[in-house]
Structure formats: C-alpha cells, structure tokens
Chains A and B, each alone.
Chain A
Amino acid sequence: MTERRNTAGVAVETQCQQVHAIMREGGSVEGTDLESHVNGCPACAELIDGGPTFADALDASAEPPSAEAQLDGLWAEIDASIEEEQGPASWIHSRSTPARVAMVAGMVVAVIAFVLVAWARLDLSVYPLGRLALDLSVLTLPVLVILAIVMRPLHRSAWPRWVEFLALALAVGAVLVGPMLMPAHHDHPASMGGVGDALIPRAVLCISVGTLLGLPILVILGFVSRSRGPFGMPRGLAVVLAGSVGCLGVFLHCPLVEPQHLLFGHASVLAGFIALGLLVASLGRWPRRGG
C-alpha cells in the first residue's frame, strides 16, 4: 500500500488520517478495512457523510496564506533568542518543573521559618490551639492551590479560566476570615491595641512587614517563571501567591488580634499585591515594539 501523506506532507499514522487522505483523494472507504473504523468513529462518519466536496470545502475554507513565506528569518530569530538565554536566570527557569516547584516551595518555607525563628508573634504561647490551626489552614490553603496553578507547565493542558478566578477568590476569602471572626484571645499585652488612633500606624507597619515577606516569593517566581511579564515580573496569580505568603508571614509575626487591624493591616497586604498584579497585566497589554 502506498504511504499516504496529509496536507502537511507528514505520513499518515492513524485510521482517521487514512480516512482523511482517502477523502482528499476523492476515494471511498467502502469495502476497505477502514469501513469498520468509520462505523465506530462519529467524527469520520460525519466527514464521510459530507463526501469529498466537504473535504475540499474544509481544506479550501482554511487554507492559510503561504506559511513558508512567513517563516523567513524566524529560525534565525529563535536561534538568536536561545543564544541570548544564558546566565543564572535562564539556567533556573529551564530546570525541570519539579525542581522549580521545589525552589518556590523552599522559599516559602524559608520565609515562614525566618518569621518563626527570628520574628514570631509574641502571643503564640497563649493563642488558642484550635483557632491557630484554623487560621493557619485557611491562610496556607490558597498558597498551596495557587502554587499548583502557577507552576503548571505550559506543555500541560491549561486549567479552565474559572479555576484561576476560584483561586483568587480563595486567597481573598482567606484573608477575610480572620477579620470576620471574634478576636482569638485577649490574654497577652502585645495583642492589645492596633485600633483607634493606632489603627493606621500599626496597619502601615504590618503592610510593610507583609510586603517585605512576600517580596522574596515574587523574586523567586520571577526567576523560575518561563513566561514573565514586563520588567521580568511573574504574571497574574503568581503575584497573588507572593501576597498570600506575605499575609501568612505577617499573621505569624503580628500579635494584634483586633478585626479592624487584621482587615487594614493584614488583608491589605494581599490587596497591594493584587494591585501590583493588575498593573503588570495592564502593562503586558501594551503593544510590543520591535518584536
């Protein structure tokens, strides 16, 4: 049997492709071993019902402008871009996905460990254990979910868009749980205050601390991301991930428990990173110049 080739000049491999090739030649599958395939393949059956005219119309309908002509010089550009991808940053983002995930997870652990060892909240000894478990679980969950989403490699089929929105909602919801609950305790002098005249100064301090703790995550994500935004920034949810880690960090650092402070001082950390993410996204929409 003569080797059949498709429109791209590639040898056909599957029975579907063989059916397509026969249709393009104006032949018939009747009496051939492909007949049983067509009976079991609704897509090919639909094509066969349309006949050679349908095949011809399909090909003509989407026949592209001369693709080869458009490729002039493209390989040279790709080769030059690959040549430019030297240095530590390129080395990092070309590591395997498990290695890149480990780098980001390692940085998250390092930030949390740093806070716990050097900067831990003073009221940990009196913080109710059940509430601590709840607060930590709620703040850690979006970190894990967003980490899984942003580190999904491009050669895997993308999750639906709503998954990203759900993760964003999860991150926002997580930082709002604390302010919506009663204060965890009033058993430590360091946990008092942060409201009234002290609301803004203490909130600004916590926003600064949370932002500072989120920045290392932003930096490592910038290095491991294979597709970065303007100024080498990670895109979209990656920025939110940094904010979520900042919120987790500031929770482990700040002993204040009043809902007002948690809203303006802790949740605002995430709001700041979300605003940064939106800025990166809007800058990414600007038309690029010079290819």
Chain B
Amino acid sequence: MSDEELMAAYVGGDRSAFAELFARYGPRLQRLMQRDMSRAEDAHDLVQQTFLQLHRARNDFRVDAKLRPWLFTIALNLKRQHFRRLGRRPESSLDAEDGGIDPVAPRGNPEARVGDVQLRAALQKLPDAQREVIVLHWFEGLSFREIAAVVGASQSAVKVRAHRGYNKLRETMGGKV
C-alpha cells in the first residue's frame, strides 16, 4: 500500500495503518532529528510529536496529496520550533555532552575519519536553508518538488540552495574529494 493509501485508511479508522506509517518513517524521522541534536531524548520527543501532529491533522489530509512532504514539513517545523524555543541553532552530535549521544564513529581509516568529522562540522556550519535542502535531498532522498513543498520555496530555489551547499561542502573537503 502507498503512504497515501495508508493515511486514507487511518483517517477511515484503521489504527494498524498508522503503525505501518510509523514503521516506514519513524527511523527516518529519528535520523532527521538526531542529525542536529546532541540529546537523543529531544530527537525522540520530536519524532513522537511529529506523529501526534500527523494524527491531529488527519482530517486535513486530502487523498490527492502526497504524504511524505506533509510529514517532513511537520517534522522540520517542529524542529525549528524546538531550536527557537531553546534560542539557539541546530547543534552537531559532535557537541554531545555527558549523557548525550556519543559522537558518530565514521567509517574508514583515521585520515578518512578526520575528513568525515570536518565534513560533518561543515554541514553544521551551512546556512539552515542549505543544510535542510541537502539533508532532504541526499540523506532522505526527497525529490526537489517534495523539498520545495517542505521548505516552502520554488523548485529552482531549492536546486540553487542544494548546488551551493554541495559546493561549500566540497570546498571544505578540498583535495580530499
């Protein structure tokens, strides 16, 4: 069943359809949230809120709409609200403090690891608008049309943001790529 069919089934009263949507998107949203957060609990909480908001907005869902941009828009809006409430920018898991998530251990040899850490730091330093587009484009595999719907910009604008973002990341890596 497609995402949209599952959502329609849920609106119709099928609870198991929502569980299936969670199974499909829970891990992806957890990754999306955790990418910018040092505390796993915060990411966990935001994923929970995303699905609760999806549940509350179920009567807004139209059968001809795509669910995935809906879900990611809710998730990113909640994430922005979270950081706005905290009064700070998204943080890297490199910033993890005691009790937080351990920094990710990148693959490969020590030299590659240094490069990975550099790139991860560079990703965090990108302007929010560029980082969001790259995360959705590369890591989450959304199309530019979907990304445009999620971030509320035109397709050409998000393509430009992606191009500039990738370009900055490549520059950060210098001769390593």
Contacts and interface: CB of A to CB of B under 8 A. Distances in A.
Contacts of A49: 170
Interface residues of B, number: 80
Nearest to A281: B85
B8 interface: no
Contact of A97 (B47, B52, B60): B60
Interface residues of A, number: 63
Contacts of A28: none
B9 interface: no
Interface stretch (A54-62, A168-176, A265-273): A54-62
A33 interface: no
A54 B177 contact: yes
A50 interface: yes
Nearest to B140: A8
Most chain B beta carbons < 10 A, residue from A17, A46, A78: A78
A226 B60 CA distance: 12
A57 B48 contact: no
Interface string A90-102: 0001111101000
Contact of A154 (B78, B108, B137): B78
B27 A67 contact: yes
A64 B31 contact: yes
Given A43-B137, A285-B85, A67 B31 contact: yes
Interface in A1-50: 6-8, 10, 12-14, 16-17, 20, 41-43, 45-47, 49-50
Interface string A70-102: 110011011101100100000001111101000
A85 B143 contact: no
Interface in B60-107: 60, 70-71, 73-74, 77-78, 80-81, 84-87, 93, 101-102, 104, 106-107
A45 B159 CA distance: 11
Contacts of B55: 82, 85, 94
Interface string B95-125: 0000001101011100010011101100100
A137 interface: no
Interface in A206-248: 226-227
Interface in A112-162: 153-159, 161
Contacts of A71: 26-27, 30, 47
B132 to A, nearest CB: 11
Contact of A43 (B135, B152, B163): B163
A156 B104 contact: no
Q: Dominant SS at the B interface?
A: helix
A14 B27 contact: no
A155 B22 contact: no
Contact of B143 (A8, A17, A51): A17
Contacts of B143: 13-14, 16-17
Nearest to A10: B141
A201 interface: no
A46 B57 contact: no
A57 B56 contact: no
Contact of B169 (A16, A45, A58, A154): A58
Contact of A64 (B104, B169, B173): B104
A273 B13 CA distance: 40
Contacts of A60: 106-108, 112, 116, 119
Given A61-B119, A62-B35, A74 B47 contact: yes
Given A63-B104, A93-B56, A94-B55, 12 more contacts: A47-B138, A49-B170, A54-B169, A63-B106, A82-B52, A85-B55, A153-B60, A154-B57, A154-B78, A155-B71, A157-B152, A158-B80
30 contacts: A6-B141, A8-B140, A8-B141, A14-B143, A16-B143, A17-B143, A42-B159, A43-B162, A43-B163, A46-B162, A50-B170, A54-B169, A57-B115, A57-B116, A60-B116, A63-B106, A67-B28, A70-B30, A74-B30, A75-B26, A78-B48, A81-B52, A82-B55, A93-B56, A94-B56, A154-B57, A155-B54, A155-B70, A155-B74, A158-B80
